[in-house]
Structure 1
Amino acid sequence: MKKKYTIRDIAELAGVSKGTVDRVIHNRGKVSKKALERITKLLTEIDYEPNLIARNLKNNKVYDICVLMPDPEVDPYWSPCTDGIKNAIIELKAFGVNILTVLFNPQCTKSFLNENENIQIMLPDAVVLVPLFNKESLFVLEKYEELGIIVSTFNNRINSATINKFVGQDLFQSGRIAAKLLYGLRKSEGDFVIIHIDEKYKNAIHMQEKEKGFKSFFDESLKFKNKILTCKLKHPNFESQFNLFLNEHKYLTGIFVTTSKVYQVAEIIKNRTQHNISIVGYDLLPENVAHLKEGTIDFLIHQNPKQQAYLALKYLVDFLLFEKEIPNELLLPIDIINSENVEPFMGN
């Protein structure tokens, strides 16, 4: 087993005082060039690893971390994230870490900007956030960079020159998977439609990536000769808009919904005579699972928001406490859920 060296051991081996070794290890105070070279060489030879936990506790360093995420009361998709954050807090309660969760309205860019401004006033050591709105996210990330605040992101990828730490899924690939699922479900010739619900498409990179992935699958298929349509629906006129779209497109055989609100589409399809339409969407909301078990929805792609939030926070804390590098990108598996395998995923 690897020997655990104390500061006293290192001081005796280097022929210097414990105080000199302490100053070198913690990079504080003046040390002669000769002593510095001797200690540094010795530390390299013995592969010395300081007890970072003890160091933080001794220095009474308390790290403040803010988690900025959409309000689950507005969009239930985000509810599992709060569980992931709670799990991380429980694991880390013995260390000097304060974790504050801040919520913004996912339907309001002003709310997102205001909450980011409030966080920046607090000057935390680090921030974990969901860059839901692309334009506004790029703006706030530049401000965090100026303030020297470490930032990691989850769920939504952002193309930022300053921030590149991301935990989530390959959304382009999940779009391709949705396309392959619908293609395999097709019972007859007909068109497919990509449906976006309640978000501004031009400012929603996650929707764009899923759509690009979906279309790329059929761009490479020589057998598919039908149309790939797109439809953007918003409340409060969601139902009337969608029924109008269905009346105008009688030859639909597949629907791909790019958000967790797929149940809203399934409910309308269920009550129409067009029962030959296959549906693929996202996430294990209770309403989605109910339609999955009934057979109205054929497949759900599980994005595991709980694990995304947990890992984004855990990696950030590991960096602050233990100086472990945060991976630039951590892509979680893309789970394909149907009525037969849904139960083991519920509650996880």
Structure 2
Amino acid sequence: MSKKYTIRDIAELAGVSKGTVDRVLHNRGRVSETALKRVTNILDEIDYHPNLIARNLKNNKAYTIYVLLPNPEQDPYWEPCLEGVNSVVDEFNAFGVNIKQLFFSPKSTKSFLQANNEIQKATPDAVLLVPLFFKEASVVMKQYERLGIVVSIFNNTIETVTTKNFIGQNLYQSGRVGAKLLQTITSKGDLAVIHIDEKYKNAVFMQEKERGFESFFKEISNYKVLKCKLKHPDFDSLLNRFLKSHPNLTGIFVTTSKVYQVADFLKKNNYTNIALVGYDLLDENVNHLKTGTIDFLIHQNPKQQAYLGLKFLVEHFLFEKNIPNQLLLPIDIINSENVTQFLRS
């Protein structure tokens, strides 16, 4: 173990007072050039690192960070995010960071705006949120900037200068991965990109996945890419009409975790010749993956996204660490043979 140097040790080695060392370490007050050089030389020699934990506790600053998520009770995709958030809470429990969670309806822009308004009134130090609705998220980002509140986002990104970082996947590239998977298990025919229960024009994550998917097949001549938007309560009738209208359909790419809803329909109506690729390890998706109705799932790892996004914010305030502008997680491809190991992680 290397020696832990105190301010007194450094002062004696440099031949200066403890007060001078304190002023150099904390960059406050006047210090002569000679004294500054002596102290910095000693700091270099002993490879001194300040105890940022002790410094934070001494400052007695309590930081507040909000996490704003779509309500997991309305969309189970977001349930693992709670595990990620709770892991950070447990990890930094002794540091006095106040982490609060707030939910909004994934189907309501009004709910999203109301939740952000509540956070802004509380004036926290930072907020980690999912910019699910592009138009509304762009507005609240500017509001946070005016209030001096640090904002980090995860799951899907929007082009804005106000966010500190983005944690997630390259959505365009994940669309290309979905295309490659379908191309691997189909030889020709029509392929469909299906969006479920979202306002497409306000959902950048859908647009990017679709754009990546289409770009892949622009390079291949023996496939035709179709598009379909499905909404409840007319889901079954809309999908049935679409499938009847396109008898040459050989594969479907669903841009969300609701791929199991398409799998339910295909299985119930005995469509055994249509390959199916979608997202995420929801229980319903995994069941269809194991029985073969879904061929591949792309794992977006929402737990890790929330965990890293929140951890970066906490460490930024506690330990003065820089927040990375962007961290892209791997695009994990899941099939029936490797799904078990991902369920354990």
TM-score range, shorter chain: over 0.9
Unaligned 5+ residue runs, structure 1? none
Q: Give runs of aligned pairs for residues 192-341 of structure 1, distance below 5 A.
A: 192-221=191-220, 224-341=221-338
Q: Give the match for residue 168 of structure 2.
A: 168
In 2, the alpha carbon distance for the partners of 1:58 and 1:50 equals 13
Amino acid across the alignment from 1:189: K
Offset at residue 34 of structure 1 (A): 4.0
In 2, the alpha carbon distance for the partners of 1:123 and 1:40 equals 40
Q: 2:10–2:39: 8 Å Cα contact kept in structure 1?
A: no
Offset at residue 66 of structure 1 (A): 0.7
In 2, the alpha carbon distance for the partners of 1:112 and 1:347 equals 32
In 2, the alpha carbon distance for the partners of 1:45 and 1:88 equals 34
Q: Structure 1 residues 13 and 289 mapped into 2: Cα distance closer, same or farther (>3 Å)? A: same
Amino acid across the alignment from 1:214: F
Aligned residue for 2:95, secondary structure, equals coil
Q: Give the match for residue 61 of structure 1.
A: 61
Q: TM-score, normalised by structure 1?
A: 0.94
Q: Deviations over 1:35-77 (max 9, x none)?
A: 7744663366344321000011112111111111111001000
Aligned residue for 1:72, secondary structure, equals coil
Q: TM-score, normalised by structure 2?
A: 0.94
In 2, the alpha carbon distance for the partners of 1:39 and 1:116 equals 51
Q: 2:23–2:31: 8 Å Cα contact kept in structure 1?
A: no
Q: Deviations over 1:213-265 (max 9, x none)?
A: 111111122xx323101111111111111111111111100000000000111
Q: 1:194–1:228: 8 Å Cα contact kept in structure 2?
A: yes
Amino acid across the alignment from 2:158: I
Q: Give the match for residue 5 of structure 2.
A: 5
In 2, the alpha carbon distance for the partners of 1:247 and 1:42 equals 78
Q: 1:70–1:78: 8 Å Cα contact kept in structure 2?
A: yes
Unaligned 5+ residue runs, structure 2? none
Is 1:155 the counterpart of 2:152? The answer is: no
Q: Give runs of aligned pairs for residues 58-137 of structure 1, distance below 5 A.
A: 58-137=58-137
Once superposed, what is the RMSD of the aligned Cα atoms? 1.8
In 2, the alpha carbon distance for the partners of 1:316 and 1:216 equals 35
Q: Give the match for residue 25 of structure 1.
A: 25
Amino acid across the alignment from 2:200: Y
Amino acid across the alignment from 1:321: L
Aligned residue for 1:165, secondary structure, equals strand
Aligned residue for 1:94, secondary structure, equals helix
